[in-house]
Structure 1
């Protein structure tokens, strides 16, 4: 009997040690501080342009369910999960992978990695830092998804033996990072305990995850953008569903967010009540059973759904991508008799144009660059004065 007690105690101590290690995870010095200076803002014009071109924003869910059979004569694929198949924003994966636009996400990710070469992240405000990490994560996620396309089910890609979430392919200020490092060890640890809505900023390529936005996150409005994502997610079938009035079902994505809640079920339920619309919020409050089991791992490719897009798609910038992709291998012709109109656009030229701002001007306006220069000079002066003081102290 004693050996079983010892064994149980050993297991308990091991679990406690792992939990303690997670609780006491220390951010690297380069990521741990922040500035109160809100004059220094980061530009994401290139990422804005690329997302606007490749993301179809479908708006809030109306909780519609997919019919059991696909429409005849459509390229749209059927989903096993009828409750959630018609939800989430879409990305033009198929068309992007055919064009040179796929390189745009890699270029922007590399550009974001080099931002600390211009200014320390600790010299940015907390809001600017949060926007930076979310944009880096989502850009890197899209880059990985594009490189693995075509893939229909993302579960093994995210959580299998060769998980892209665990791959350390991102380098920031000399630190090798994975997507999980950014989500769990940086954003959740530094921002999440005070603002749990940061969890809605992580797109993971599938219908069951928070939305990819058709714009980059901005320090000036990052929490407003996150709140929008949270409201859309909670008030959708892939976020929360009520069955039989006494059972609440929530997304398995929330399993990744447990570190944000001291009492997971109690605190998550309170959060969902706050974000859910009536009468769902009341049902969540009084439901007797709380199940974390809604999932849909299907990729958010435009052609991976059966949702009717209607005329709205034709006016979306993504329609331009669809129109030009067939001509992406041909240069734009000039002179008499040359092709005209958007179908003649060369996607290589378009991709270069999108990233030109980053390549030529960096992520800061001339005014902000001048402030950064002054800040760096001030830090250098302060550093020099400290060294002189140390020398004087040693002489004494």
Structure 2
């Protein structure tokens, strides 16, 4: 943001020099207030999200490039290849702001419609499905870039997956199970947009995240909208909190006797460990022992619990 204010200051000071310069303007716009409705209590909670959009006119871009001595801008525009106007515009806009995804809307919605135990109020989500769509459109337009950190990318994919899952269920609610959608194959439905690509839930999990991030805790982050699934986090994943969020969810999942029954000499655990055992590279029991107070013997025989696909509402 310091770069933004520096460039704005330069432009404002230069624009006051001549009448011609006064015509060079920067437009600043703010987004609207978000209203989240509660279908049960019939009240409304307003949460205002204000983000500054800086729209730089072409004349201003030319003026900046020709009239300032900002070394960072000059360094990015100096090379042996002639630059067209479109390229110049991209250079200046990139100098102004590095765009990242904003998970505020999803954070507000999950805090309101997901309990601390992971129960999901799909009726509430359905009443505010337009807000989910606004958030999904934002994620579509702000797809991960190469210069994003690992945590920025993971937070993006986890939130995109979960918001898309909730949208899929809420748009057809009431249903008994997510498997009642798309002929029993909801995870194969291609409907999730990110940049210019369209993905299914399976593709996000199995072709993007699992092969590329070496993170076994992803299985507590992706929510399948079922009773036996690890609980849905009642806040958005964020890059700065991601590690603590994943550890907290892992501990809650491992120590939930309805999902994993762990004793020193007896182990009945989620089918997730059976389906995705290859992701736990240090071993399933060592992973469990990270999060349980009761340490399990390494030689114990593992049994898997039946998976309950009823909706987590």
TM over 0.5: yes
Q: Give the structure 1 partner of residue 142 of structure 2.
A: 115
- The answer (yes or no) to whether the contact 1:246–1:287 under 8 Å persists in 2 is no
Listed as ranges, the matches of 1:333-372 within 5 Å are none
Give distance in 2, aligned partners of 1:108 and 1:239.
31
Residues 1:136 and 2:195 are matched in the alignment: no
Instruction: Select the residue among 106, 115, 124 that pairs with 1:47.
Output: 106
1:268 aligns with 284
Structure with a larger share of its residues in strand: 2
User: Does 2:217 align with 1:197?
Assistant: yes
Inter-partner Cα distance in structure 1 for 2:234 and 2:306: 25
Q: Deviations over 1:354-377 (max 9, x none)?
A: xxxxxxxxxxxxxxxxxxxxxxxx
Q: Distance in 1 between matches of 2:273 and 2:179?
A: 15
Report the counterpart of residue 248 of structure 1 in structure 2. 267
Q: Show the counterpart of 1:323.
A: none
Q: 1:298 aligns with which of 291, 305, 310?
A: 310
Distance 1:107 1:259, change over 3 A: farther
**Contact 1:252/1:292 (8 A) holds in 2:** yes
Instruction: Give the number of equivalent residue pairs.
Output: 216
Structure 1 segments of 4 or more deviating over 6 A? none
Report if the CA contact (8 A) 2:166-2:225 is conserved. Answer: yes
Give the helix-richer structure, 1 or 2: 1
SS of corresponding position for 2:283: helix
Structure 2 residue 187 is the aligned partner of structure 1 residue 165: yes
CA RMSD, Structure 1 to Structure 2 (Å): 2.3
Structure 2 counterpart of 1:92 = 121
Q: Any idea what SS the aligned residue of 1:208 has?
A: coil
The alpha-carbon deviation at position 44 of structure 1 amounts to 1.3
**Structure 2: how far apart are the matches of 1:162 and 1:107?**
27
C-alpha distance 156-290 of structure 1, shift in aligned 2 (>3 A): farther
Q: Is the 8 A contact 2:99 2:142 kept in 1?
A: no
CA offsets 1:315-358 (integer angstroms, 9 cap, x no match): xxxxxxxxxxxxxxxxxxxxxxxxxxxxxxxxxxxxxxxxxxxx
SS in structure 2 of the partner of residue 254 of structure 1: helix
Tell me by how many angstroms 1:287 deviates: 6.3
| Residues in 1 aligned to 2:153 and 2:225: alpha-carbon distance in whole angstroms | 23
Match of 2:249 among 229, 239, 247: 229
1:237 CA drift (Å): 1.5
CA distance in 2, matches of 1:238, 1:110: 36
Task: Report if the CA contact (8 A) 1:247-1:287 is conserved.
Answer: no
Distance 1:40 1:108, change over 3 A: closer
Q: Is the 8 A contact 1:41 1:219 kept in 2?
A: no
Q: 2:133 aligns with which of 106, 109, 127?
A: 106
Pairing 1:289–2:309 present: no
State the TM-score, normalizing by the size of structure 1: 0.51
Unaligned runs of 5+ in 2: 1-97
Q: Deviations over 1:260-289 (max 9, x none)?
A: 135xxx711111112112x3x2xx325632
Using the alignment, how far apart are the partners of 1:252 and 1:240 within structure 2?
10
- Cα deviation, residue 107, structure 1: 2.1
- Aligned equivalents of 2:267 and 2:303: distance in 1? 6
Match of 1:291, SS state, is strand
Q: CA deviation at 1:109?
A: 1.3
Instruction: State the alpha-carbon separation in 2 of the partners of residues 242 and 230 from structure 1.
Output: 14
| Kept after mapping to 2: 8 A contact 1:46/1:108 | yes
Q: 1:65-96 deviations in whole A, cap 9, x for unaligned? A: xxxxxxxxxxxxxxxxxxxxxxxx11111344
How far, CA to CA, are the matches of 2:231 and 2:154 in structure 1? Answer: 17
Higher relative contact order (CA 8 A, sep 6+): 1
